[in-house]
Structure 1
Amino acid sequence: MAVLSDEEVDAAAKDLNGWERSDGALRRSVKFPAFLDGIDAVRRVGEHAEAKDHHPDIDIRWRTVTFALVTHSEGGITSKDVEMARDIDGIVDRPET
């Protein structure tokens, strides 16, 4: 799987909700209404990531959760990361039903 160029990542990020290229990864921070809402979103993202066998780095700071995506085995951001960013958008941008 090929690492995307900075230009390719930036172009893909335009179609994503709040994602940006930063420090060699695709990143998005989400502020939730309450701490446990963020924890629930992390659980849902974690379950999806496990099923896809592609795991984001996740940082939790009270109500703010930051997701970072990079394909470590390839040494950069790949289409797999862009796909997972879209998946994460779908998970965190709609409440669990």
Structure 2
Amino acid sequence: MTESSSADPRALLSGDDVLAADLPDWRLLLRSLHARFEVGYDAALALVAAIGAHAAEVDHHPDIELRHGSVRVVTQSHDVGGVTARDVALARRVSELAREHGARPAPEEVQALEIALDTPDLARIKPFWRAVLGLSDDPRDGDELADARGTGLPGFWFQSSEPTEEDRSGEPAGRMRFHLDITVPHDVALDRVEAALAAGGRLVTAEHARSFWVLADAEGNKACVCTWQDRG
């Protein structure tokens, strides 16, 4: 972490800054720090309460998901739309609390799903998807819709594409337009790609690796395995 970023609580941290912060229990996914801790249910309840008490004390509030056998914590500085020194400090304290409650970190298990829709005319279709999914425009990116109410839907974004003859004719397109983006920890991405290939997939392109690998199943349906690395 650079000196300037640690001094300014609103300064956004890069992926390299996060690595330098040495947070072994946490991984950077989609502008947030993610952690998963495996722990029995009773201890998990106590851990969630302890995290909540600390969050209230420092006025920095992570998302916490309690499931049978695990607690998932995601932190982002929402006022700047990314990770700051405030998140690093919170992450460190959460890890301390997890150890105190006997929780085992499982950073290799965190991931984040996004749905992408190719379109030559964003303005034409975006209002429909915003309405049918109950999402909001993302103020940070006009190509994305945001789950501002925190209902648990995956991210949804639009990818610009060239119009086909079907598009020009006004008829519904017959080709596949959706693909999935699965963002994983940078240190498990290659394993995930290899597992997909071993399961009958094919590599469409690795041109943009380590940012993302484009894969397809036996019928041509595509998915991208993504990380924070090598992004502009």
Paired residue for 2:44, among 13, 16, 38? Answer: 38
Contact persistence 1:3–1:77 (CA under 8 A): yes
SS in 2 for 1:3: coil
Q: Does 1:20 align with 2:37?
A: no
Match of 1:93 in 2: 99
Contact persistence 1:17–1:89 (CA under 8 A): no
Paired residue for 1:29, among 24, 36, 41? Answer: 36
Higher-Rg member (1/2): 2
Once superposed, which parts of structure 1, at least 4 consecutive aligned residues long, lie more than 4 Å away?
none
SS in 2 for 1:93: helix
Match of 1:66 in 2: 72
Q: TM-score, normalised by structure 2?
A: 0.39
What residue ranges of structure 2 are gaps of 5+ in the alignment?
1-9, 103-232
CA deviation after TM superposition for structure 1 residue 90, in Å: 1.3
In 2, the alpha carbon distance for the partners of 1:31 and 1:51 equals: 25
Bigger helix share? 1
Match of 1:2 in 2: 11
What residue ranges of structure 1 are gaps of 5+ in the alignment?
none
Computed over aligned residues only, the root mean square deviation of the Cα atoms, in angstroms, reads 1.4
Q: State the identity %.
A: 32
CA deviation after TM superposition for structure 1 residue 64, in Å: 0.8
Which of the pair has the greater relative contact order for Cα pairs under 8 Å at 6+ separation? 1
Matched pairs, number: 93
Q: TM-score, normalised by structure 1?
A: 0.88
Bigger strand share? 2
